[in-house]
Amino acid sequence: MTGPATPRVALITGAARGLGRAIAEALAQQGVTLMLVDILADRLEATRAALVAGGASAAAYATDISVKANCAAAVAAAIAQFGRLDILINAAGLMRFNHAADVPEEEFWHLMQVNAAAPFWFAQAAMPHLLASRGNIVNVLSQSALMGTAYIVPYSMSKAALLQLTKSLAVEYEDQPIRINAVAPGAMMTEISASTRPPADADFAKIKRYSGARPPAQPAEVAAVVAFISSPAASAVHGAVWPADCGVTAG
Ligand SMILES: NC(=O)c1ccc[n+]([C@@H]2O[C@H](COP(=O)([O-])OP(=O)(O)OC[C@H]3O[C@@H](n4cnc5c(N)ncnc54)[C@H](O)[C@@H]3O)[C@@H](O)[C@H]2O)c1
């Protein structure tokens, strides 16, 4: 929400690869300055270098966002580097297939920390800066926040929590100069499921209910939606959850 003389600054979590990287590329196209955050330090640096080679202004901050203090430190690093923050994109996320009966406690809480708690701590730390810049937050949910999805129950729970973070924060700040929204992707061609597979004895008819009739989206297709909602062109959009799931949650 600033004029062309003042480049907007975005902090993007999960920016090393996949959708987060695609969002960084889309925002760079809008001339937005980037603070890229991820736990994968080498991939993050490669992404930063590629963006800068393409003409973007970008810094990287490698950290584990499952720790509350690291979320605030990442926001502080963005302010120290660029002096302002206009956009917070909570795109980092983890997904694990499992029978609900077999989910270990550690896996359950780690999913909650990365997918639901970290976006809350990022929002809390970023809020004063976003209010000062009349900025906005976009949370990356999943179709799993909008429908029941078998064999990924804690993931689905975490994304539903992130949906309510979006809506409840939007109401709490309805009289403040900030927009808070979410995008709910369906399946995308990324590495999120590279290290997890449905249980061998899963009922695949239940998985098919959220697999969709269309091919998985490219991350850039969903990133374009996120980039629009975070842009001044979406100034009327607040407290919204925007599916980008190629029709899966249409029924
Ligand atoms: N790929 C899909 O089919 C799909 C569908 C719906 C929603 N989503 C959501 O999209 C978002 C991006 O996922 P993606 O598909 O690009 O997968 P991805 O695995 O390629 O990207 C997720 C990123 O989050 C980072 N991350 C994970 N844990 C972290 C931690 N503790 N600290 C810091 N960074 C951490 C990873 O290193 C990775 O770079 C996620 O929130 C995911 O839940 C993905």
Residue 141: which pLDDT band, with cuts at 50, 70 and 90? very high
Report residue 71: phi and psi, to 5°: -70, -50
Q: What are the C-alpha distances in Å from 97 to residues 25, 108, 194, 227?
A: 29, 11, 11, 29
Evaluate the CA torsion angle 61, 91, 115, 68 in order and state its sign: positive
Question: Which residues on neighbouring strands pair with residue 138, listed in sequence order?
Answer: 89, 181
Q: Which atom of ligand 1 is nearest to the CA of 64?
A: 32
Residue 2: which pLDDT band, with cuts at 50, 70 and 90? very low
pLDDT over 90 (residue 166): yes
Cα(1) to ligand 1 centroid in Å equals: 27
| Residue partners of 115: CB distance under 8 A and separation at least 6 | 93, 94, 155, 158, 159, 161, 162
CATH code, residues 9-246: 3.40.50.720
Q: Residue ranges per domain, the chain?
A: 9-246
Question: For the segment 144-163, what is each residue's pLDDT rounded down to a tens digit?
Answer: 999 999 999 999 999 999 99
Q: State the DSSP string of 31-43.
A: T-EEEEEES-HHH
For range 93-111, the mean pLDDT: 98
Name the residue among 110, 138, 188, 113 with its Cα closest to residue 24.
138
Cα(237) to ligand 1 centroid in Å equals: 24
Q: Whose CA is nearest to atom 8 of ligand 1?
A: 142
Alpha helices in the chain (DSSP H): 18-29, 41-53, 68-82, 105-112, 118-133, 153-172, 204-208, 219-229
Question: For the segment 41-59, what is each residue's pLDDT rounded down to a tens digit?
Answer: 999 999 999 999 999 999 9
Helix, strand or coil for residue 93? coil
pLDDT over 80 (residue 4): no
Name the residue among 84, 78, 95 with its Cα closest to residue 13.
78
For range 21-39, the mean pLDDT: 98
pLDDT over 90 (residue 113): yes
pLDDT over 60 (residue 226): yes
pLDDT score recorded for residue 6: 83
Cα(36) to ligand 1 centroid in Å equals: 13
pLDDT score recorded for residue 5: 60
Q: Which atom of ligand 1 is nearest to the CA of 159?
A: 43
pLDDT score recorded for residue 40: 98
Helix, strand or coil for residue 215? coil
CB neighbours of residue 178 within 10 Å: 22
Q: Which atom of ligand 1 is nearest to the CA of 90?
A: 41
pLDDT over 50 (residue 134): yes
Question: For the segment 56-99, what is each residue's pLDDT rounded down to a tens digit?
Answer: 999 999 999 999 999 999 999 999 999 999 999 999 999 999 99
Rounded to whole angstroms, how far apart are CA atoms 175 and 28? 30
CB neighbours of residue 218 within 10 Å: 14
210 is catalytic: no
The mean of the pLDDT values for the chain is 97
